[in-house]
Structure 1
Amino acid sequence: MSDVTAPFVGVIMGTYNQANYISHALDGVLMQRGEFPVKIFLSDDGSTDGTREICQKYKEQHPDRIYLLMSEENTKGKIVESLYDKCFSSGVKYVAMCEGDDYWTDPRKLIKQVELLESDLHLSVAIHSQAVIFDGMEGQNFVQGNIFCKKRVALEDVLACFPCNFTASLLFRNPKTLPSWFYTTVSRDHALLIWLATFGDIYFMDDVMAVYRQHPAGITKTIAKKPFEELIAVNERKTSFLVELDGYFNKKYSSIIRKHIFHQFEEALTLSRLHGRRFSAFRYWLKMLQHDYARTVRMSVAFLIKRLHF
């Protein structure tokens, strides 16, 4: 920690058209206390709403604490891949993350997480609870606590909880590289957690030290509004990721991963039915049947009984 020439903690922050939120995100990092140097690795993916100018202003005010990467056009998130490389190769020991519309609430967040990881070399990640806030729907706000139901979490536990999103809560040891399958999935938050869990256990802290924001412009909401073809494409990307993951681990965790694959087929079947795509629905039913015959038959019989009953 005595080397002040290189950042000790790197914070990866990607943003796109988040002018109403990005200052809050940056301030949450800049307020962090600690004797160790912290550097923000910030990217703007071709924003047109003033986010770009806000990022430039913060860079000018904190030239030594912010590395800024900007794109003239929207790269659909590709720019963040360069941000990972830049952060990992900068010499940081630990890495944290915060999306441009999320923010940290505790000025001692990094201190608490760093102290935990420094005290236990068998841990690869320190994660904590977060508040989930719905813009314009405050009555739905809640605290997202420990979904793993245990303090110390292993790779099997992470694989079982698919997907999970604690991006703003993570602090992890610098992994130096990312696997190829990290870039093929829709849910990179979960893919990252899976990769990090291959290096050591994850410890879940009860402290609520960040806010995960849900709003109309958020990525989750945007996906939900897409047409059938795009929704199915997202579903199939998730399925392909799971298949690739199963191969990567040499089918060691097939009993867990295959359940998620089945769920993806089931989701695709439901989407097809809701959009009146009967042939597509039949195709995914066949995939379910091939993947898990007994489970598919049970579900099909239950569905027919329900239809006949009503």
Structure 2
Amino acid sequence: MTVDVTEIEKRINDSYELPNSVVDVVPHPLVTVRTYTYQHRDFIRQCLDGVLMQKTTFPFEFIIGEDFSTDGTREIVFEYAQRYPDVIRVITADYNVGGEANVIRCRRRTRGKYIALCDGDDYWTDPLKLQKQVDFLEAHPECGLVHTNCDVLYVAENKIVHSFCKFWGNRQIHYKDQGQLFYMLTEGPYPIKNSTIVFRASLYDTIQKQLDEIRGQFLMGDLAVWLEMSRLAKFHYIDEACAVYRVLPESVSRSRSVVKQLRFTLSAEEMRVYFVKKYRTDMPMPLKRRYNQALILYKTFVPNYIDRYPLIQPGVIERFFYKIHHPSTRFLVRLWFRLLFIKDYGIRYAVGKLMKRVRAMIHLQLNRS
């Protein structure tokens, strides 16, 4: 559900900052670290400790957007704010303002030349993470964003994949220019995890108008930021795992609900199509296939969904499946295809788990050798 701009502004105006001495103690922070948290009771201490352990030669401030959690997260954040009043600034309200308002209210209080992010359910593991990234940005003015490798923790399975980018074959992530990076971001998944990045605040300010134009239209907000930034500045990748990214059973990007998962996938592909239409002259073939598949699969469950974009140069089979899911098609026919998909989804899920296990075994053997 999207929230209109007027309501978002009201929620921001209703927000307030807990008393602290950060502005007096750190009048000119080089970096602002931002954490957005809601219902992260089991994870938030590790997140906060990972930021507070950073060893730097420069001053930084730590802004926490606490969105009226009811599971104990709020009390933990307030406790840390009292213990570290010269570092932590807590922005909150007396009700849940939602993710978008939470991000904006923290952004407007940011003072650093650089911005680092760490989600409330993730955490940093390298005490020199900030120092390494800021050193590179200071030495390379053409670079707008630095991200690192990370470990990925699958909470439900209690399994961790070390050096995620290497695990997926991205041993060295580099490119010739901004144009090539933009192509990489639109044509397929690019391994940037939110909690591994540091970027220039000025670069974010430059793209703010473009981001405001699509506010609330897509479920995957981070990708839009990377796409806009990639047109204007270079990205740099540090091949060191400096953070842990948690994969929760239920989140915006991952769900036990097939419908929710398919909706998120479709929204991500819709965003890529939007940016390709806006900035590119050609539509990548991989994106055509992924978008068409995502649209058809989602309409299997939600046939009345109004397409943001029509099928892109569909083949005969794609047109056939799309027509099957049209609302005018008989209910029993659509139901049969839906059940067929559920069966297929279950098979693909089992195969996917098997392949993950095989890849993990190979990765383990490579590390031992």
CA distance in 1, matches of 2:274, 2:185: 16
Count of matched residue positions in the alignment of Structure 1 and Structure 2: 283
Partner of 2:316: 297
Structure 2 counterpart of 1:242, from 259, 272, 276 = 272
Structure 1 counterpart of 2:257, from 218, 221, 225 = 225
Gaps of 5+ in 2: 1-24, 176-180, 321-339, 341-369
CA distance in 2, matches of 1:152, 1:98: 23
Preserved CA contact (<8 Å) 2:186 2:276: no
**TM-aligned CA deviation for residue 219 of structure 1:** 3.2
**TM-aligned CA deviation for residue 218 of structure 1:** 3.5
Report the TM-score, using the length of structure 1 for normalisation.
Answer: 0.79
**TM-aligned CA deviation for residue 187 of structure 1:** 1.4
**TM-aligned CA deviation for residue 75 of structure 1:** 2.8
Preserved CA contact (<8 Å) 2:26 2:60: no
Aligned alpha-carbon RMSD (Å): 3.1
Deviations 1:228-280 (A, max 9, x none): 4x56654564455334423442x34x423x7435523312312344x4x6x56
Matched, 1:198 2:211: no
CA distance in 2, matches of 1:212, 1:40: 19
Partner of 1:80: 103
**TM-aligned CA deviation for residue 163 of structure 1:** 6.4
Report the TM-score, using the length of structure 2 for normalisation.
Answer: 0.67
Partner of 2:124: 104
Preserved CA contact (<8 Å) 1:13 1:98: yes
CA distance in 2, matches of 1:101, 1:12: 13
Matched, 1:124 2:144: yes
Identity of aligned residues (%): 23
Partner of 1:152: 174
Q: Which amino acid aligns with 1:17?
A: Q
Matched, 1:271 2:298: yes
**TM-aligned CA deviation for residue 14 of structure 1:** 0.3
Partner of 1:28: 50
**TM-aligned CA deviation for residue 109 of structure 1:** 0.5
In 2 relative to 1, CA 264–280 (structure 1 residues): closer, same or farther, beyond 3 Å?
farther
Per the alignment, in what secondary structure is the counterpart of residue 241 of structure 1? helix
The within-5 A match list for 1:135-214 is 135-139=155-159, 141-145=161-165, 150-153=172-175, 154-162=181-189, 164-174=191-201, 175-177=203-205, 178=208, 179-180=211-212, 181=214, 183-214=216-247
**TM-aligned CA deviation for residue 193 of structure 1:** 1.6
Preserved CA contact (<8 Å) 1:125 1:171: yes
Which segment is superposed worse, 194-203 or 237-246?
A: 237-246
Partner of 2:28: 6
Per the alignment, in what secondary structure is the counterpart of residue 61 of structure 2? strand
Deviations 1:11-35 (A, max 9, x none): 1110000011111101101100011
